[in-house]
Amino acid sequence: MANPTVPGALQAALALDTPDIDNLPPPTDSTEDLSGNDVLSGGDENDVIAAGPGDDLVEAGAGNDSLWGESGDDTLDGGEGSDAIYGGNGSDFLDGGAGDDLMSGEGGNDVLLGGDGDDELFGGLSRDSLFGEGGNDTLSGGSDKDYLDGGDGEDVLVGGDGDDSLRGGSGADALEGGSGNDLLSGDDQDDFLDGDSGDDTLLGGFGADLLIGGTGADSLLGEAGDDQLDGGEGDDTLSGGGGDDLINGGPGFDTVNYAGSRKDYTLSVFGNETVVASESNGLDVLRGVEKLRFSDGFEQFLGDKPWVLLSEPNFDAPKVSVETSVVLEFSEPIVSGTGKLVVYNETTGITTEYSVRDNPVISIAGKVVTFKPPLPLNIFTDYRIELTADAVRNSSNLENYAATVSSFKTATVDGLYHFFVVAFSAAPGAIYMSQLGEAYDYFKQENPSDPLKPIVDIFTTKPQFTDVYPESLSTRQFATQLIANVVKESATPQAKANAVADVEAAIGIGWTRGDVIYRVFGNLANKPLQDPEWGNTAMQFRNQLEVARYLTETIGYATEDIAALRQSIANVSNFSDISTVENIIELIGNLPPGI
């Protein structure tokens, strides 16, 4: 990464001093005024007007004019021509008009307008506002808290002392904040921004910009374009924004922010540079950066200490197998330390710690740490994996940073979807699926051969089921209503009549309603789509399951409103096209807001 260079225009601007009033151009016509609040006008020649004490209004007109406001709150208008305007003491308003003007506000809170032309504006003392407007202008705020706006053209802005705000405007501009905590905004084109000393904020805007923070805890945002960012000394916060950016943190503990989730980025190490790539933000090359921070809250530590380069499962991975191992690839070879690997079950709130050293469930080989949980993980559960400090060490005996290294959600069991769709004619959604998952994990220990059947027996006694199928229903009524809800129009009337008779017969020999539900969804899940009698119903069932999965796992729709969950699959039939996300969303329709 090459060292940034200061544009020649900015170097020249830094050498400029406030203009010497004694060296202004000699007059052709001249007007002198006594003290008081005067209204003075020049002509079309090169006028010299000294307004004297008081709050004066001076309009010089055309020509290359020289105006002195002297003491008082004056309004000085140079008009057309290349004018020299000096505000003097007081809060003055200076307007250069057209032409290449030289303007100095001096004492007081002044406003300077350069107008068209290549102007030089000096704020002087106090809080000044400088507007270059058209042309390639040079603006210098001087002391105190100033606002500088270059406007159109390729401008040079120097804030000077104080907490200044600098805006380059359109054109390729060069901005330097000077001392103080400054705000620099490049706007359009390829801009150069240098915060200098102080805790500065630099915004590159559009274009391929060069941003230098200087000393202090600075914030640099390249925004659009292929930018180069150099934080300089201090603990800086940097963000390249869109485009392929070069980012150098410099001395200090520096952090690079990214707008996406950790899972959206890949990291690679080449010597002392880290490459961060994503489809949305381009490819960034980082040097001298100690930490990455992502929009989902995850932080990735870099630097001389060993840090996790790749993790599997990756951050926010969905539908992870409950038999998964967690694999962490570090930036360099490591050995075990005295720290721990911590597993957070975010769904139940249970935390489990594993010592990294001499633990049979944790192995280290070269750069890779592998953690194999001693028992299968819970289904449909959010997990977060952290390493405490000193979990591992590198060859220089430097320990890792404490950090989150992986997060994921485990997959659920298809049978839970099968049950819910048949029993309730609804998608489960995130809340009911979490309840079903907890029940499944419990019965997996109690009844490992078939943990699903006890869940069916329990849930078919709950109000959500009995509200649809009250106990007061006769066997014939229950069978008829169940088959109508499950089959809908996907089978012939005769096939549905036969199914009703089968349900009546099963209950007649002692089956419970839970037994019936269990057998119905089991049969549908295994029925061939080519079956001449029930193939269309099996297709409808498959389509309902896919829509229910999308609503539950992808959207994460969270509600206990069975009516809304039933509505989510009400439009799904054996003819439904579920080949695209757009089609699935259209089938779901507009639902009440989730929790």
Reported as a single tens digit per residue, the pLDDT across 369-408 is 999 999 999 999 999 999 999 999 999 999 998 889 999 9
Question: What is the per-residue pLDDT for 30?
Answer: 47
Question: What is the per-residue pLDDT for 309?
Answer: 85
DSSP 18: P
Q: State the Cα–Cα distance between residues 583 and 110, nearest whole angstrom.
A: 62
Picking from 387, 410, 433, the residue at the C-terminal end of a domain is 410
Is residue 353 domain-shared with residue 468, that is, in the same domain?
Answer: no
Q: Pick the closest to residue 270 from 246, 287, 251 (CA basis).
A: 287
* Per-residue pLDDT band at 14 (split at 50, 70, 90): very low
On the CB side of 502, how many CA atoms lie within 13 Å of its CA?
A: 14
Picking from 410, 440, 470, the residue at the C-terminal end of a domain is 410
Is residue 455 domain-shared with residue 392, that is, in the same domain?
Answer: no
Is residue 345 domain-shared with residue 451, that is, in the same domain?
Answer: no
Question: What is the per-residue pLDDT for 27?
Answer: 40
Q: Spell out the residues 6+ positions from residue 400 whose beta carbon is closer than 8 angstroms to its own.
A: 301, 305, 306, 307, 308, 330, 334, 337, 339, 387, 389, 390, 391, 392, 393
Length of the chain: 595
Q: Is residue 210 part of a domain?
A: yes
Q: What is the mean pLDDT of residues 15-22?
A: 46
Token output for 170:
């359109």
Q: What is the mean pLDDT of residues 115-141?
A: 92
pLDDT for 77 beyond 60: yes
Q: Is residue 440 part of a domain?
A: yes
Is residue 406 domain-shared with residue 418, that is, in the same domain?
Answer: no
Is residue 51 domain-shared with residue 155, that is, in the same domain?
Answer: yes
The answer to whether the CB of 377 falls within 8 A of the CB of 383 is yes
Q: Spell out the residues 6+ positions from residue 528 whose beta carbon is closer than 8 angstroms to its own.
A: 535, 538
Query: Total domain count for the chain?
Result: 3
pLDDT for 484 beyond 80: yes
Question: What is the per-residue pLDDT for 35?
Answer: 65
pLDDT for 275 beyond 60: yes
Backbone angles phi, psi at 257, to 5 degrees: -95, 140
Is residue 161 domain-shared with residue 74, that is, in the same domain?
Answer: yes
Question: What is the per-residue pLDDT for 79?
Answer: 87
Q: Is residue 245 part of a domain?
A: no
Q: Is residue 300 part of a domain?
A: no
* Percentage with pLDDT > 70 across the chain: 94
pLDDT for 443 beyond 80: yes
Is residue 458 domain-shared with residue 506, that is, in the same domain?
Answer: yes
Is residue 432 domain-shared with residue 375, that is, in the same domain?
Answer: no
Q: What is the mean pLDDT of residues 551-569?
A: 94
Question: What is the per-residue pLDDT for 25?
Answer: 44
Q: What is the mean pLDDT of residues 162-179?
A: 93
Question: What is the per-residue pLDDT for 65?
Answer: 84
* Percentage with pLDDT > 90 across the chain: 69
Q: What is the mean pLDDT of residues 289-295?
A: 91
Is residue 476 domain-shared with residue 458, that is, in the same domain?
Answer: yes
Q: Pick the closest to residue 101 from 129, 72, 74, 76 (CA basis).
A: 76
User: What mean pLDDT value characterizes the chain?
Assistant: 89
Is residue 99 domain-shared with residue 167, that is, in the same domain?
Answer: yes
pLDDT for 577 beyond 90: yes
Q: Determine the structural domain holding residue 451 and report its residue range.
A: 414-588
Q: Encode burial over 73-112: b for 16+ CB neighbours within 10 A, e otherwise.
A: bbbbbbbbbbbbbbbbbbbbbbbbbbbbbbbbbbebbbbb
DSSP 21: G
Q: Is residue 13 part of a domain?
A: no
Q: What is the mean pLDDT of residues 199-228?
A: 94
Is residue 39 domain-shared with residue 74, that is, in the same domain?
Answer: yes
Question: What is the per-residue pLDDT for 2?
Answer: 44
Question: What is the per-residue pLDDT for 36?
Answer: 66
Is residue 378 domain-shared with residue 457, that is, in the same domain?
Answer: no
pLDDT for 357 beyond 50: yes
Picking from 356, 381, 410, the residue at the C-terminal end of a domain is 410
On the CB side of 44, how many CA atoms lie within 13 Å of its CA?
A: 0
Q: What is the mean pLDDT of residues 301-315?
A: 87
Question: What is the per-residue pLDDT for 125?
Answer: 86
